[in-house]
Amino acid sequence: MHNSSNSSGFDIGLAAIRRFYFYIVALISLTAALFAIDGLLDILSDAWLNSAGVGVGAIGYRRDIIARNGSILLVASAVFLLHWTYIQQRLNDATERHAALRKLFLYGGLAVAIGFAAVQGGRLLSGAAFLALGGPENRSDILSGGWLHLLLMSGVGLGLSFFLQRTLLADGDYGRETTRAGTVRRLFQTILGLAGLIGLIFGSAQALRIVWEILLNLTDPGLNIGWSQGQLSGGLTAAIIGGLILRLNERRWQATIRANQSEAGTALRRFFLYFAVVLSALAVLAPAAFLLREALLILFFGEDGGTLGDLLRRMGEPLSFIPAGLISWFWYQRTLVREAEAYGVSREAFIIRRVYHYAVAAVALALLWFGLVEILSAGLDVLFTRSGSAVGRFWIRPLVTGLSLLAVSVPVWTQHWRTVQQAARQDDAAGHAERTSLPRRLYLYGVALAGAVLILVNLSQVFYRLFQLLLDVTGVGFFTFEGVNELARGLVALALWLAHVMAIRADGRSEERYRLNNQAASEPEQPEHAAAPLPHPPAERRILEERIAALEKELSAARGQLAEMTRVKNA
């Protein structure tokens, strides 16, 4: 029996090694073949449609490229087909069909194919939009054979994507994969969805910024001819392709959730939604902080914002991120709430939500620290170094920067910290789980550690300068620019360190109460007669003495009877 078990485990190990070899080699050879096809289509399209006036050197260069890519395509195709044929012949085994390494190959190949289709198709669409928007033909990337190469390569990418998707569906477990195979699919969908969201936000921002500059006549005349058309067509293309990828990926994921409701509560699904919320929120809050900073400088501190054109040009970039960021923020926040209400919150989803709250709180706290340091540095600078003089208006920009950071970080940190604190203050099992969770421990002790290091580094420098001043070291000033910044960083770090150390101590006291309450609840109840009061000590003694006398009398009588019985027997 023991030998059989060992043999089975050895077979499983060999199967994993075999799969790893075949699928990795197949993926590498498939990718190499795609790059070779791309290079061949590029050079052949150019040779076919742009052959006029080609010199001898160019012909030799083309032949060298064709030979190199042709040889790679020949060898890579042969290697791929050899390994793929062997792989497909083993699909009668259910474990082979549903293996995680098979899914890794299929989704990895699908990612490569989609990448080629998106990049080359995007170049084709961008080039067409560039010409449609009036861009000069001599700056176009798709004329003179480029369009044919991009069109054919997009078709190759889409065709391979269709083939791999059909293969995944033919395996029979799409959307119902177990263990690591399901993780591979969700990881692919998470990366694909986030890539689409990034393309949508940044592409739309680029396009809106160019539209803003064109409408307000803010384009720089010194730029190259066709620059605006190129930027606008590139932004529109990125937004369209990113939105298309995002939409198709979400539709397929929603179809999987409808067929298998437990999919909605998986860790990677919730990670994707929370990450999309954070990314969308950053696309709104970061530009909002910049706009607030500009408004404070101009409206309240009388700073010169330059000409109206300069001001509008600076506003165009942050404003362009807000529309797509705001829409996606609202959409994914609503999706989170809707899926939680419809499908409940699984253990994995609850863990991801907890990690999300502490991660966002940590980032917001870092921004809060920077903002407070800037404000305190500006205040100390006015009080002790510049005295508010005209040359001392250097403090205005740090002050405004700090206020802008606080305007963004304080609401975010307060909301997320309050959420986790409400759970941690409970005296029940839920509060105990929150207080002892790894994300909370990492957050609290991480902040305490960072605060302690900042206190050590900055306040030691402050006392160093103070001792130099007390010892009358020449050429040393306490309230210098560096000294003021070190004091501000140390004091803010001390305040945040104390706040989080108090939170750690509060967790400890809550845990002590929870332990005592559980200990009291687990002690068995005493029987009712044990609670009755004992008799008065003298009365108890008298009762015991009378009982002992009675027992001794009975014992004497019994001994007499035994002696009588012995005498009669002997007689």
Q: Which of 22-36, 337-351, 380-394, 553-567 has the lowest mean pLDDT?
A: 380-394
CB 73 within 8 A of CB 30: no
- Rg of the chain's alpha carbons, rounded to an integer? 38
The pLDDT value given to residue 274 = 95
Q: pLDDT for 137-161, tens place per residue?
A: 877 878 777 899 999 999 999 999 9
Break the chain into its structural domains and give their ranges: 1-174, 175-345, 347-518
The pLDDT value given to residue 347 = 87
Residue 228: CB partners within 8 Å, gap ≥ 6?
A: 210, 213, 214, 219
Residue 550: CB partners within 8 Å, gap ≥ 6?
A: none
User: CA nearest 506: which of 400, 570, 427?
Assistant: 427
Which residues of 278-367 form beta strands (DSSP E)?
Answer: none
Distance set, CA 214 to CA 226, 229, 231, 509 (Å): 13, 10, 12, 62
Residue 152: CB partners within 8 Å, gap ≥ 6?
A: 41, 45
Query: Within a 13 Å sphere around the CA of 176, how many CA atoms are in the beta-carbon half?
Result: 9
The pLDDT value given to residue 388 = 45
The pLDDT value given to residue 217 = 79
Distance of CA 228 to the CA centre of its chain: 34
pLDDT band of residue 452 (cuts 50, 70, 90) is very high
| DSSP character string of 311-360 | HHHHHHHHHHHHHHHHHHHHHHHHHHHHHHHHH---HHHHHHHHHHHHHH
User: CA nearest 118: which of 230, 26, 195?
Assistant: 195
The pLDDT value given to residue 313 = 81
Name the maximum alpha-carbon separation found in the chain. 153
Q: pLDDT for 346-394, tens place per residue?
A: 888 889 999 999 999 999 999 999 999 999 888 887 776 654 444 456 7
pLDDT at 260 over 70: yes
Structure tokens at 80: 């791929």
pLDDT at 7 over 70: no
> Which residue would you say has higher pLDDT here, 183 or 377?
183
pLDDT at 536 over 50: no
Dihedral class, residue 476 (left if φ above 0, else alpha if ψ from -120 to 50, else beta): beta
Residue type at 561 in one-letter notation: Q
Distance set, CA 334 to CA 180, 271, 327 (Å): 29, 15, 11
Distance set, CA 25 to CA 54, 98, 105, 254 (Å): 39, 19, 10, 33
The pLDDT value given to residue 477 = 63
CB 209 within 8 A of CB 255: no
Q: Is 384 helix (H, G, I), strand (E, B) or coil?
A: helix
The pLDDT value given to residue 2 = 43
Please give the DSSP secondary-structure letter assigned to residue 134. Answer: T
> Which residue would you say has higher pLDDT here, 165 or 548?
165
The pLDDT value given to residue 567 = 59
Most confident of 215-229, 272-286, 557-571: 272-286
Q: Which of 97-106, 292-301, 399-408, 423-432 has the lowest mean pLDDT?
A: 292-301
The pLDDT value given to residue 386 = 54
**CA 295, 299, 301, 303 torsion-angle sign:** positive
pLDDT band of residue 534 (cuts 50, 70, 90) is very low
What is the rounded distance in angstroms from the CA atom of residue 400 to the CA atom of residue 395? 9
The pLDDT value given to residue 160 = 96
> Which residue would you say has higher pLDDT here, 449 or 539?
449
pTM for the full predicted model:
0.82
What is the arithmetic mean of pLDDT over 409-424? 93
Q: pLDDT for 455-478, tens place per residue?
A: 999 888 888 888 877 777 666 666
The pLDDT value given to residue 78 = 96
The pLDDT value given to residue 61 = 81
What is the arithmetic mean of pLDDT over 58-65? 82
The pLDDT value given to residue 529 = 45
pLDDT at 72 over 90: yes
The pLDDT value given to residue 549 = 75
Orientation angle between helical segments 179-215 and 100-132, nearest 10 degrees: 10
The pLDDT value given to residue 506 = 93
Most confident of 311-320, 441-450, 540-549, 552-561: 441-450
> Which residue would you say has higher pLDDT here, 525 or 511?
511
User: CA nearest 113: which of 162, 42, 45, 147?
Assistant: 162
Q: Which of 10-19, 421-430, 501-510 has the lowest mean pLDDT?
A: 10-19
pLDDT at 68 over 50: yes
pLDDT band of residue 6 (cuts 50, 70, 90) is very low
What is the arithmetic mean of pLDDT over 411-423? 93
Structure tokens at 155: 């078709």
pLDDT band of residue 57 (cuts 50, 70, 90) is low
Distance set, CA 437 to CA 34, 312, 412, 441, 512 (Å): 47, 48, 22, 6, 16
Please give the DSSP secondary-structure letter assigned to residue 386. Answer: I
> Which residue would you say has higher pLDDT here, 293 or 162?
162
User: CA nearest 29: which of 82, 99, 86, 87?
Assistant: 82
Q: Which of 150-154, 235-239, 480-484 has the lowest mean pLDDT?
A: 480-484
Exposed e or buried b per residue across 282-293, where buried means at least 16 C-beta atoms within 10 angstroms of its C-beta: bbbbbbbbbbbb
